[in-house]
Amino acid sequence: MHNRWSASAAEEMVQTLAPRYGEALALRTYASRLLGSDPALVLHGGGNTSVKGVWYNLLQEPIAALYVKASGWDLARIEPEGHTPLALDYLQRLRQLPELSDAAMVQAVRGQRLDPDGATPSIETLLHAFLPYTCIDHSHADAILTLSNQQQGAALLAEALGDEVIILPYVHPGFALAKAVADAHDRAPHSRGMVLMQHGLLTWGETAEASYATMIELVSRAEAFIAARLTPLPQASAAEEEAAWQRYRQLAPRLRGVLALPGRTADQPFDRFLLLPLIDRQLLALLAQEGAAATLLTPPLTSDHLIRLKPLPLWLDAAALQDEALLQAVARYRQAYRAYIARHAPDGAVAEEATDDTPRLLLLPGIGAVCVGANEEEAARVRDLLRQTLQVKGAILGMGGRYQGLSEADCFAMEYYGPQRAKLAAAQEAPLARQVALVTGSAGAIGSGLCRELLAQGVHLAASDLPGPGLQSLLAELQASHGQRVMAVAMDVTDPASVAQGVEQVVERWGGVDLLILNAGLAHVSSLETMQVETFQRLQRVNVEGTLHLFAALAKLWRQQGTGGDAVLISTKNVFAPGAQFGAYSATKAAAHQLARIASLELAPLGVRVNMVAPDGVFSDGDRPSGLWAEVGPDRMRARGLDAAGLEAYYQNRNLLKARITASHVARAVLYFVTRQAPCTGVTLPVDGGLPDATPR
Ligand code: ZN
């Protein structure tokens, strides 16, 4: 491991931040970022740092202060505000207390904020307060955990790090740990650092640079020690990796279905999870190793992984994937989890609704790992923690060691530890947060409006269209505001192989599809007398066959998932009130509409609802002109002697409400169905401002 301290970068930081925050906090910020930007040291808001200094009140009186990392800040991107100033004297005197509950500790620490608007300080604050050093760094370094989390770990650490480092057996984080750390330090006051078994490493110094340098030096020693004793594991072949992906694609929809929980009422959809796979050659080889289950089917590396990973993964070998066996394996996991709660929680201490018994990490020999979350962000966090877990547990296996994690009681104490649970208390979930939607014809005017409104309701969105700049620019636009919740799927709806491939891409990414919005369509203006049959057939392929291919592909998928679904066809008012010169469009859309009605009959037994939204013309969505209007607008303008604005006004004025129909209106009608406001299937909802001739009948 490299010491990445740069005198010039540190100086630059001092130049920028010191005038406002002082030199000590500027350098603390710099060193914290160095620590945070190395995933072999800390991950996802893990680890913490502090600096002791002075705070001046309004009377310019100096107060001894501890600036400690606030929870919610990531060390990699920390700003000076990420270290909350606290009155140090009182916190240090708390050490006299024989004990202090977690709730009282959190209250006491928050009460010592010198800036009342300061962020909530780290739950490890007292540990920083009790140690008598200006700067303290704390990491959960891979190399340290590789040694601290195996049998005879303390002896290995002593050999690797020498006697300048204290080794402290596991203590539950909070007041007890802070006291144990301070006591251990007092017994060996000349030490340079301390390993907390099954937890991480502490280093200290009079400057941020010194404390950081000790951190790097000790972790490097551990790395060298491990490297000298490690037999590298073999890697699976490329063919084995391809076979693993193949198996995963087949399994994922059913697996996602088995993990889903029934909706809380008959009207509500299933509470589904997003699945993110981790399939690589190293992991495949690791899972195939002798003793892999004994090493990997074990508690997490550190207590802060617990709330994300749960105490144990679910191990599913090939036999467990067959038919009923998969259901049983998941049911057994849930039962075992509840039994674990019952063993450790005093009566009623963990409310039924707080008991979340769904596994978050699945290990499947021959396939890889599957990370489970209520959304992409949660599942991705599991995947990052899994990568670190595999690094550490794999190294232990490679050293010929035996993994030694937290005891079950320690797992429970930490999984249901108040200050940790607080991190999970997320904002209320958006209505469609656990659903994956596939929208066809996304790059058009109605399509992009649909994508935006669905994303606003929390969906994970697969935006599909023909490959090209339209789809690319839509993806860039949507990702800018919704990040990883959006993917683009290049798909030609007229080609069943392309449809199958597109659906497969979504299955690989998130595990399945729940909502299908059939919006791809083509229009053409021609009288029947002059209609080219090839043109008619081109519309038929997109509007009719495209609808058929998508229903066929999704019906298979929904049968595998077993958790129902919703489909909405973007139909048209022309199905009910066709226009002259518009035969190819009206006839093919009518056929698509009829297919959707048939789908509502055939898919109801699977719990799938199929409905239709029938808009009048939508001209554009922001800067995106509608493709349909690019095709028919010029002709209609000529026929009526109007310009573009005039034509739009003409359409607006012909409906009862004098409404200009927008993509958002169409999207909100779709939302009415997919958020399951009422038990509807086979229903057509016109969005046309009131056109009596086009009322469905
Ligand atoms: Zn820690």
CB-CB contact of 423 with 307 (8 Å):
yes
CA of 336 to the centre of ligand 1 (A): 28
- Ranges in the chain annotated CATH 3.40.50.720: 436-691
CB-CB contact of 504 with 475 (8 Å):
no
pLDDT of residue 62: 95
Which residues are CB-neighbours of 590 under 8 A, at least 6 positions away?
574, 575, 578
pLDDT of residue 642: 86
CB-CB contact of 270 with 566 (8 Å):
no
Q: Where would I find the H helices in 270-322?
A: 281-288, 292-296, 306-309
Question: Under CATH, which architecture does the 436-691 domain have?
Answer: 3-Layer(aba) Sandwich (3.40)
CA of 149 to the centre of ligand 1 (A): 14
Q: What does the block give as tokens for 381?
A: 């966090």
Which pLDDT band, with edges at 50, 70 and 90, does 267 fall under?
Answer: confident
In 3D space, the residue among 383, 385, 375 whose CA is nearest the CA of residue 428 turns out to be: 375
Question: Looking at 202-206, 271-275, 539-543, 620-624, which range is the least confident one?
Answer: 620-624
Per-residue pLDDT averaged across 4-19, rounded? 95
CA of 91 to the centre of ligand 1 (A): 19
CA of 47 to the centre of ligand 1 (A): 5
Burial label, 571 (beta-carbon count in 10 A; 0-12, 13-18, 19+):
buried
At which residue do the structure tokens 């501890």 appear? 66
At which residue do the structure tokens 């296996």 appear? 397
In 3D space, the residue among 516, 607, 525, 527 whose CA is nearest the CA of residue 553 turns out to be: 516
pLDDT of residue 354: 66
CA of 675 to the centre of ligand 1 (A): 41
Pair type for strands 515-518 and 620-621: unpaired
Which pLDDT band, with edges at 50, 70 and 90, does 303 fall under?
Answer: confident
Q: Which CATH number fits domain 238-420: 3.30.70, 3.30.160, 3.40.225, 3.40.190?
A: 3.40.225
pLDDT of residue 357: 93
CA of 139 to the centre of ligand 1 (A): 7
CA of 140 to the centre of ligand 1 (A): 6
CA of 459 to the centre of ligand 1 (A): 34
Please give the radius of gyration of the chain, using alpha carbons only, rounded to the nearest integer: 30
CA of 147 to the centre of ligand 1 (A): 16
Beta-bridged to residue 67, according to DSSP, are 51, 85
CA of 347 to the centre of ligand 1 (A): 30
CA of 105 to the centre of ligand 1 (A): 17
CA of 42 to the centre of ligand 1 (A): 9
Helix 238-259 vs helix 546-561: angle between axes, to the nearest 10 degrees?
A: 80
Q: How far apart are CA 184 and CA 165, in angstroms?
A: 11
Beta-bridged to residue 687, according to DSSP, are 615
CA of 186 to the centre of ligand 1 (A): 20
pLDDT of residue 353: 61
Q: Where would I find the H helices in 270-375?
A: 281-288, 292-296, 306-309, 323-344
- What is the tens place of the pLDDT at every residue in 648-666? 888 899 999 999 999 999 9
Q: What are phi and psi of 261, to 5 degrees?
A: -110, 140
**Does 146 score more than 90 pLDDT?**
yes
Reduced to 3 states, what is the DSSP secondary structure of residue 401? Answer: coil
Beta-bridged to residue 114, according to DSSP, are none
Burial label, 454 (beta-carbon count in 10 A; 0-12, 13-18, 19+):
buried
Which H/E stretch holds residue 596?
Answer: helix 583-603
Residue 179 sits at the vertex; the CA angle it makes with 94 and 423, to the nearest 5 degrees, is 85
CA of 200 to the centre of ligand 1 (A): 6
**Does 624 score more than 90 pLDDT?**
no
- Ranges in the chain annotated CATH 3.40.225.10: 7-229
How far lies 375's CA from each of 248, 287, 409, 685, in Å? 19, 26, 29, 30
CA of 538 to the centre of ligand 1 (A): 62
Q: What does the block give as tokens for 220?
A: 């490097």
CA of 6 to the centre of ligand 1 (A): 26
CA of 83 to the centre of ligand 1 (A): 16
- What is the tens place of the pLDDT at every residue in 118-136? 899 998 999 999 999 999 9
CA of 688 to the centre of ligand 1 (A): 59
Q: What CATH number was assigned to the domain covering residues 7-229?
A: 3.40.225.10
How far lies 601's CA from each of 412, 560, 607, in Å? 48, 18, 11
Q: In sequence order, what DSSP letters do the residues of 170-198 get, joined into one string?
A: ---TTHHHHHHHHHHHHHSTT-SEEEETT
In 3D space, the residue among 381, 364, 365 whose CA is nearest the CA of residue 373 turns out to be: 381
CA of 302 to the centre of ligand 1 (A): 8
- What is the tens place of the pLDDT at every residue in 525-555? 999 999 999 999 999 999 999 999 999 999 9
CB-CB contact of 83 with 28 (8 Å):
yes
Which residues are CB-neighbours of 1 under 8 A, at least 6 positions away?
38, 40, 41, 143, 216, 219, 220, 223
Q: What does the block give as tokens for 142?
A: 């891979």
**635 against 177, higher pLDDT:** 177
